Chain A
């Protein structure tokens, strides 16, 4: 048997092109996408064929999870500070400048106003814990939710309302939210949904 000694050949591949392509992809992703905002709870929205995109600015987000807890948020850090001041006046709570600053960094929150100071004192990782997701009270006896919306409307008159609810949220909770909005004469709003393909054969 002839001894076949396999010759070792070094393969040298020029990876410059690969590197260029990687950086091009990276630049594309950096320029075209936006960072996803961290929300207090994960919501699984139902799908719909509607293709209207959510507006980027001046939105008031109302998130309702599957148990019916309400979370609220608006965009714009300075607007959030004025919002907190207005609601603080209503409930006779004074917030320090540091607390207002912390509030302006929070995207959306679901805390009754009594627990707000304690919430703002927590670190940002603690705030996201499930135990702290109380939800803003929205029942007729204690409708803090209505006060937040009214204050938000005063802070920014161009705000558009977007409701993001879980597909398993029971209808009475949504009806409650919609009734509160109707009482405040907010009759135009958007429901955030995920994309579904339109049926082609009708």
Chain B
């Protein structure tokens, strides 16, 4: 099937004119080439794994006065429960000791993402504007990056506290960090869950 055909030129040698035709069958060569391709396709990986960067606060005890108090009006606490459920409430316990209203939602697009988008509407609009400008190439890359970080650091943007119960899975943690990135939340922190939060969650389950 695969052949390499060379036809000898006659008349070059003195006297004897030989016509030599060599037929080389290249079928095994093609087989070998495909075997090698298959080997490399199966044993190597072109896709480099992706990462999400996290920085946590350091363990050192921070002075009470230096610790920036989270403004109760802008704080949203998200509690990760079992079976991919998400509990959230706005603010903290009010001075009259009224428990904040705890809502239940899921990780679907109409769940926690909708809530966060609504709360972060100002920042989202600014970011969408910037993205449009970038698509039309009206602003330079460095300007885009600077304005993007400024938009995210907006003082009026909500601050999210992420707390996970022991029934949550790692996937829940990664998903919520993902939502932070999708909704362009500027400030969030992963903190330990408190007994108060556990109680609030327990009340919902009853």
Using a CB–CB cutoff of 8 Å, the interface residues on chain A facing chain B are 12-16, 18-19, 22-23, 25-26, 29-30, 32-36, 45-54, 64, 162, 164-175, 178, 181-183, 185, 187-196, 198-199, 202
Contacts and interface: CB of A to CB of B under 8 A. Distances in A.
A49 B164 CA distance: 21
B6 interface: no
Contact of A199 (B58, B109, B164, B174): B109
Nearest to B171: A167
B46 A162 contact: no
A164 B51 CA distance: 9
Nearest to B51: A190
Interface of B: 1-4, 26-27, 29-30, 33-34, 36-37, 40-41, 43-59, 80, 109, 113, 117, 124, 128, 164-175, 177-178, 181-182, 190
Contacts of B173: 171, 174
Contacts of B190: 178
B57 A19 contact: no
A192 B1 contact: no
Contacts, number: 167
A22 B30 contact: yes
Given A15-B27, A49-B182, A191 B171 contact: no
A167 B107 CA distance: 14
- Chain A CB within 10 A, most for which of B26, B51, B113: B51
A167 B41 contact: no
B197 to A, nearest CB: 14
A36 B45 CA distance: 6
A125 B159 CA distance: 50
A199 B27 contact: no
A202 B178 CA distance: 14
13 contacts: A12-B1, A13-B1, A19-B26, A36-B44, A45-B49, A54-B48, A170-B170, A178-B56, A191-B52, A191-B54, A193-B49, A198-B182, A199-B182
Contacts of A54: 48-51
A182 B49 contact: no
Nearest to B124: A202
A196 to B, nearest CB: 7
A185 B59 contact: yes
Given A19-B26, A34-B44, A52 B170 contact: no
Given A169-B170, A173-B170, 5 more contacts: A14-B2, A15-B2, A15-B27, A19-B26, A50-B50
B147 to A, nearest CB: 19
Contacts of A192: 49-51
